[in-house]
Amino acid sequence: MSPPRVVNVPYTPRNWAVPIHATFLRWLVAVLHRRAGKTTCFLNHCQRYATDSGLEAKRLRFLVPSFTDRDIRQLLEERKYGIILPLLKQAKAVAWGPLKRISRKVPGAKKNESDLSITYPGGHIVRLFGADNPDSFRGMPFSGIVYDEYSQHPPNIHGEVVSKSLADHLGWAAFVGTIKGKNQLYKAYQAAKAHPEWLALWLDINASLANETGATITALRRAMADDLEQIRMGLMLQEEFDQEWFLAPEAAIRGAILGKWLTTATKERRITVVPYEPALPVDTDWDLGVADYMCIWFSQTLRTGEIRLIDYYQDMSGGGLPAAIKHVKEQPYIYGTHYGPHDIEVREMTLGGRSRRQFAESHGLTMQALSQTNLQDQINGARLLLARCWFDATKCDAGIECLRQYKWQFNDKLQQFTNIPVHDWASHGASAFMGLATRHQDVLALPTEDEVQEFGGHVLGRDDTSWMG
């Protein structure tokens, strides 16, 4: 199979990318080591489809042989291809320059700096997006979409926001990136590798070094040697090296705020099956976004101090507070108290000048505002509380991933982590959990970390009676 080329663009794909450019399957997953060349591959892949209507027609006929010429002509009109990175500023920094560079080779291609898009002859568009602003691509009809660094995207971004946007043009989707734990990218690969209608690719650094040639591969060999030396010097963790180069799924998330405590919960098998106990009330803890994600933890608290997280709700489809209230009321739980953040008393024009608490009450849901605490106290409280938590692995999967991916910002200039968390999709689920920790701290006076000890299979304070209701 000879490597396909984009017309008039000097691009020679790496060997691993050849089957990606050759397939007409709708779905593909590519788990790739750092610096494998994925951005170059998929920018050219999108531009290739945007500039070659014959190729797009072949893809559509492969998927549905019964399509008529008229059907094909209709589906070929005004095609849109999107590449979604975790953050819009990341899309601009990483992919916008290369996209402009390759598009200059296409006569008649026009760039739009504000939209980070290129419009090609015929009105076909390749555009960059950030997963931190799903409203920018919600409802847009796509002929193809790339989830770049999918492991850092909201887990439900495909199902809730994009999947239906691919329906009109029978569009394709690529889930791509370097894994960060066993999250959505890892799970997508595990599902895809056994499915005949998916293309699945797993490429660690050894595969590249064995099968690729050229200056870039020579540079990668040197980069790996330098990284190993930095590990010996104590400047880099072995886990970071294994995750970035060898795709180790068990490696810790770099800069994770709650990761160590979740790892302990996993080792102690407290992420398992946690059934609903009808004899105990279910409390809810909310993170209320404005044109943002809506997150709710559902928990039951035992008199021993043990906390069971039995369910989790997360919405990024734009349903907002009305959809969240509807979801809560539809569940078969007997509720105790619904807790919201301290700012639920703020009035909003979108709610007719009412506060979110008032709006919830008008829909039959009474909410209690938590006291406002500083961020560090919230984080410390969440860490302590995790020692007493049991999670339902299935129903709380998306929420657990939020806790796992909640991390500190990294200062590239200083090459160190700051004390400011990254504000992204993961921070919302983490904020709701920290609200749960805040109210338990208020009511139960959590012990200091030194006072926490194992007792009878549970994690209790030195004074056991302090956990009694």
How far is C-alpha 4 from the geometric centre of its chain's CA atoms? 31
Claim to verify: residue 29 and residue 156 sit in the same structural domain = yes
Say how many domains are in the chain: 3
CB atoms within 10 A of CB 154: 25
What is the rounded CA–CA span in Å between residue 392 and residue 376?
27
Is residue 254 domain-resident?
no
Claim to verify: residue 192 and residue 96 sit in the same structural domain = yes
pLDDT digits (tens, 9 = 90+) for 384-396: 999 999 999 999 9
Claim to verify: residue 198 and residue 297 sit in the same structural domain = no
Claim to verify: residue 172 and residue 268 sit in the same structural domain = no
pLDDT digits (tens, 9 = 90+) for 139-177: 899 999 999 999 889 888 898 888 889 998 999 999 999
For residue 164, what are the contacts with CB-CB under 8 A and spacing of at least 6?
none
Claim to verify: residue 199 and residue 215 sit in the same structural domain = no
Report how far apart the first and last C-alpha atoms of the chain are (Å, whole number). 69
What is the rounded CA–CA span in Å between residue 428 and residue 457?
31
DSSP label of 145: E
Is residue 7 domain-resident?
no
Burial 347-384 (b: 16+ CB within 10 A, else e): eeeebeeebbbbbbeeeebebeebeebeeeebbbbbbb
What was the pLDDT predicted at 329?
95
CB atoms within 10 A of CB 247: 21
Pairing of strands 408-411, 416-421: antiparallel
Q: What is the CATH number of the domain that holds 69?
A: 3.40.50.300
What is the rounded CA–CA span in Å between residue 137 and residue 426?
19
Is residue 419 domain-resident?
yes
Q: What is the CATH number of the domain that holds 282?
A: 3.30.420.280
Claim to verify: residue 383 and residue 240 sit in the same structural domain = no
Claim to verify: residue 364 and residue 384 sit in the same structural domain = yes
Is residue 1 domain-resident?
no
Is residue 6 domain-resident?
no
Claim to verify: residue 173 and residue 218 sit in the same structural domain = no
Contact 141, 148 (CB under 8 A): no
What was the pLDDT predicted at 212?
82
Is residue 132 domain-resident?
yes
Pairing of strands 416-421, 307-315: unpaired
166: tokens are 């691919």
Which structural domain, as residue segments, surrounds residue 414? 260-467
What was the pLDDT predicted at 466?
31
Pairing of strands 117-120, 124-130: antiparallel
Pairing of strands 294-301, 198-203: unpaired
What is the rounded CA–CA span in Å between residue 156 and residue 190?
17
**How do the pLDDT tens digits run along the chain, 469 residues long?**
444 444 456 788 999 999 999 999 999 999 998 888 899 999 999 999 999 999 999 999 999 999 999 999 999 999 999 999 999 999 999 999 999 999 998 999 999 999 999 999 999 999 999 998 888 888 899 999 999 999 889 888 898 888 889 998 999 999 999 887 778 898 899 999 989 999 999 988 888 888 887 887 788 888 878 888 887 887 777 767 777 777 777 666 778 899 889 888 988 999 999 999 999 999 999 998 655 578 999 999 998 889 999 999 998 777 788 889 999 999 999 999 999 988 887 766 556 667 888 888 988 899 998 988 899 999 999 999 999 999 999 999 989 989 988 999 888 777 678 889 998 888 999 999 999 999 887 444 444 444 333 333 333 333 333 322 3
What was the pLDDT predicted at 344?
83
Is the torsion defined by CA of 322, 299, 433, 175 positive or negative?
negative
Claim to verify: residue 148 and residue 177 sit in the same structural domain = yes
Contact 84, 131 (CB under 8 A): yes
Is residue 4 domain-resident?
no
What was the pLDDT predicted at 6?
43
Contact 174, 146 (CB under 8 A): yes
SS3 187: helix
- Identify residue 458 by its one-letter amino acid code: H
- Identify residue 304 by its one-letter amino acid code: T
